[in-house]
């Protein structure tokens, strides 16, 4: 299969040089690194908003920039959608006009997605006649996603789209992005400094430090790579997974959720049966056991199978990826890994307190 993108770019600024060579596969590629590492600059070079000093960018087999030929397609001809950190919506337009603006400028033969499909996908029907100034942060980002996708882009570029949102909205937008990838088949390049966002969304991750690539691999390997342990925030590492409310009468004020093949009890005030939600579970709040437990206060005991095990280069942290129909990360110690003799393919049980499951809805 033709790579989604091949790039080799160099861009010089006062006191900083971006010098990166990479190849992106179809799917979701995260561009990850500390502040000032060149993530947004690289994304803007891809978009055509910044012109590299030298190099070449090839997308879907088509050269969109080359300092050698020379060639430099303007942003509107590159067929990429872009979602900015602050959404960058047109403030004088309604939600409807924001979404249809780019669609109307797109040639009919290139239109693959109708705006009405996007309105339904992002649950925007009730907002269409509103001005964007009165929208919440999460609503603005959903409109920004719909606007970017209305041009039927070959690639969706996202520059830290969740940085200004609270935890509830972050989970909701990530779930919408998963739906975009699954239902529309849109590949993405996703800039982030959040290890949780990267783990929840990206198939592969490119890490930049000081303007240079230090690692580019499958995301589970990157999450524990020695190159990121100095700046990645593992303390807040969380699972952000799709769930559905099965019932709200489980007792003790709890609702029953379905996550993949698993049944979870959690506090979900105001939620309705049948409602789609996002569940947030910190990796460190999950207990892993090789034997079925009994007689305990924790309300959730979930059968699972170990998929992968990755050990951080220092700090004694181990990430165990478990399959419950959705993938859940569990953080344990290296001592627990050795004592339990864990290995891929092993059947285990996950123990999660009801109060450790945070439920968010659009």
Does 212 lie in the same domain as 303?
Answer: no
Domain final residue, candidates 166, 191, 223: 223
Domain that holds residue 153: 5-223
Task: Answer whether residue 170 is part of any domain.
Answer: yes
For the residues 188-212, what does the mean pLDDT come to? 93
pLDDT score at 167: 64
What is the number of structural domains in the chain? 2
Alpha helices in 191-305 (DSSP H): 195-201, 219-223
What residue has token string 């959404």? 87
pLDDT tens, residue by residue, 310-337: 987 666 789 999 999 989 999 999 999 9
Does 286 lie in the same domain as 138?
Answer: no
pLDDT tens, residue by residue, 63-80: 999 999 889 999 988 989
98-132: b (≥16 Cβ within 10 Å) or e: bbbebbeebeeeeeebebeebbebbebeebbeebb
- Cα angle 179, 194, 81 (rounded to 5 degrees) comes to 45
Task: Answer whether residue 340 is part of any domain.
Answer: yes
Q: What is the pTM of this model?
A: 0.83
Does 290 lie in the same domain as 180?
Answer: no
What dihedral angle (degrees, nearest 10) is formed by the CA atoms of 204, 209, 215, 216?
Answer: 30
Q: In terms of pLDDT, which residue wins out, 164 or 3?
A: 3
CATH classification of the domain holding 219: 3.40.50.300
- Residue 36's region, left for phi above 0, alpha for psi from -120 to 50, else beta, is left
């Amino acid at each position: 299969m033709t790579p989604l993108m091949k790039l080799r770019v160099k861009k010089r600024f006062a006191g900083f040089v971006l010098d990166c060579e990479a190849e992106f596969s179809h799917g979701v590629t995260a561009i990850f690194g500390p502040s000032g590492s060149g993530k947004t600059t690289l994304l803007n070079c891809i978009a055509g908003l910044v012109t590299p000093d030298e190099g070449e960018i090839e997308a879907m087999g088509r050269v969109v920039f080359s300092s050698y030929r020379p060639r430099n397609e303007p942003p509107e001809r590159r067929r990429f959608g872009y979602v900015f950190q602050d959404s960058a919506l047109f403030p004088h337009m309604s939600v409807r006009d924001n979404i249809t603006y780019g669609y109307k400028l797109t040639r009919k033969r290139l239109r693959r997605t109708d705006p009405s499909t996007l309105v339904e996908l992002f649950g925007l029907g009730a907002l269409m006649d509103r001005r964007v100034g009165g929208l919440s942060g999460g609503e603005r980002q959903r409109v920004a996603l719909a606007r970017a996708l209305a041009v039927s882009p070959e690639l969706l570029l996202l520059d830290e789209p969740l940085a200004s949102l609270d935890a509830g909205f972050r989970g909701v937008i990530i779930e919408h992005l998963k739906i975009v990838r699954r239902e529309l088949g849109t590949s993405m390049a996703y800039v982030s400094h959040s290890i949780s966002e990267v783990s929840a969304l990206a198939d592969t991750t490119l890490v930049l430090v000081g303007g240079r690539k230090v690692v580019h691999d499958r995301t589970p390997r990157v999450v524990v790579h020695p190159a990121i342990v100095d700046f990645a925030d593992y303390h807040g590492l969380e699972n952000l997974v799709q769930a559905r409310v099965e019932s709200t009468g489980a007792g003790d004020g709890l609702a029953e959720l379905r996550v993949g093949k698993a049944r979870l009890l959690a506090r979900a005030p105001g939620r309705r049966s049948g409602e789609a939600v996002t569940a947030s579970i910190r990796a460190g709040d999950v207990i892993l056991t090789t034997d079925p437990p009994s007689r305990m206060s924790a309300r959730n005991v979930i059968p699972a199978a170990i998929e992968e095990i990755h050990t951080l280069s220092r700090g004694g942290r181990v990430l165990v990826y478990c399959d419950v129909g959705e993938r859940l990360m569990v953080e344990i110690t290296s001592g627990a890994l050795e004592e339990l003799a864990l290995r891929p393919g092993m059947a285990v049980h996950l123990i999660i307190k009801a109060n450790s499951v945070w439920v968010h809805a659009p």
